[in-house]
């Protein structure tokens, strides 16, 4: 079953109009929310960000966020998801193709739930990355359906047989990964790009900052450049799907000693404790 507007439907019943503005312009916003042990992780924060993204593109949600929350609970239940995620998108709806907004937009919401395992191997062994120019627009804080810059970045990493692209703006500042936030550790302190228009303020990022504080690690929401990235003692990425994952090499050069570092391990342990605290609805 999938969620279409506020109704659960069989996927075969659903047709997407070729004039949906999401399809033609990428005119819409989205979220991905993780489900652990039958429970959503950070749902309120994801929905708040969804509301903000919509507002920033002058789009109203098709119905109130509280109702959406209950519908998403039903969606996870109907699909019997224990470990997985929900993908949710809202477009500006169907209208004759003109760039400007339609006079009376009819926002269109679709969400589906999938079973998906946690990336255990990558989290344990670490991932490899390349650096590449951040060619995206200047509103990366909006979780918009327009992901071409991210898509091209990720593909470049795949072509190089790596897992992730770390983006660097033309001013030499490291912003984030193609689908992750990026942190460096230097002399026991964490640095990560401030949450402004150059990055998506990840829900996992907010958790990581809390966990670091709990662990007594100083965090600076402060920019760093490519050289500082390459000289870091540890590099870590985070996202809803990748959780907290160490980066062990960048552009073919090993990070630190080339194995996952102590701070990455500490944050992972603390992240697991957060997940363990979620009570299963099924128990």
Q: Which is nearer to ligand PMP, 39 or 179 (CB)?
A: 179
- Smallest gap, in angstroms, from Cβ of residue 27 to ligand PMP? 18
Asked whether the CA dihedral 228, 131, 193, 267 is positive or negative, the reply is negative
The span from the CA of 107 to the CA of 93, in Å, is 5
Instruction: State yes or no: is 143 an active-site residue.
Output: yes
- Smallest gap, in angstroms, from Cβ of residue 238 to ligand PMP? 6
Closest CA to 105 of 117, 122, 114, 92: 92
**What is the residue-wise DSSP string for 132-159?**
EE----S-TTS-BS--HHHHHHHHHHHH
- Smallest gap, in angstroms, from Cβ of residue 202 to ligand PMP? 3
Q: Which is nearer to ligand PMP, 72 or 200 (CB)?
A: 200
The gap between the terminal CA atoms of the chain, to the nearest Å, is 23
Residues that bind ligand PMP (CB under 6 A): 32, 150, 176, 179-181, 200, 202-205, 238-240
Look up residue 188 and give its DSSP letter: T
Catalytic entry in 143, 156, 262, 282:
143
Count of CB atoms within 10 A of residue 138's CB? 8
Q: From start to end of 146-232, where are the E strands?
A: 164-168, 174-177, 181-186, 189-192, 219-221
Q: Which is nearer to ligand PMP, 95 or 212 (CB)?
A: 212
Q: Which is nearer to ligand PMP, 94 or 212 (CB)?
A: 212
- Smallest gap, in angstroms, from Cβ of residue 9 to ligand PMP? 26
Active site residues: 143
């Amino acid at each position: 079953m999938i969620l279409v507007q506020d109704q659960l439907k069989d996927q075969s019943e659903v047709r997407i109009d070729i004039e949906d503005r999401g399809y033609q312009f990428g005119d819409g916003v989205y979220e991905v929310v993780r489900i652990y042990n039958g429970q959503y992780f950070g749902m309120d924060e994801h929905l708040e960000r969804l509301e903000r993204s919509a507002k920033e593109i002058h789009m109203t949600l098709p119905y109130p966020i509280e109702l959406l929350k209950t519908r998403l609970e039903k969606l996870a239940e109907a699909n019997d998801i224990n470990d997985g995620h929900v993908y949710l998108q809202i477009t500006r709806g169907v209208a004759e193709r003109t760039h400007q907004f339609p006079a009376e937009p009819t926002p269109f919401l679709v969400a589906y739930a999938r079973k998906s395992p946690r990336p255990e191997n990558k989290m344990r062994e670490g991932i490899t990355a390349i650096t590449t120019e951040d060619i995206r627009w200047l509103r990366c804080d909006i979780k918009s359906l327009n992901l071409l810059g991210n898509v091209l970045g990720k593909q470049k990493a795949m072509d190089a047989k790596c897992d992730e692209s770390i983006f660097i703006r033309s001013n030499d500042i490291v912003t984030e990964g193609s689908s992750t936030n990026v942190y460096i550790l230097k002399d026991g302190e964490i640095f990560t790009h401030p949450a402004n228009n150059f990055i998506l303020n990840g829900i996992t990022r907010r958790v990581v900052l809390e966990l670091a504080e709990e662990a007594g690690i100083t965090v600076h929401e402060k920019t760093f450049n490519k050289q500082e990235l390459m000289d870091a003692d540890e590099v870590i990425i985070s996202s809803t799907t990748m959780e907290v994952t160490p980066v062990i090499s960048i552009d073919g050069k090993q990070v630190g000693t080339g194995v996952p570092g102590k701070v990455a391990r500490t944050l992972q342990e603390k992240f697991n404790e957060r997940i363990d605290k979620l009570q299963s609805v099924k128990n």
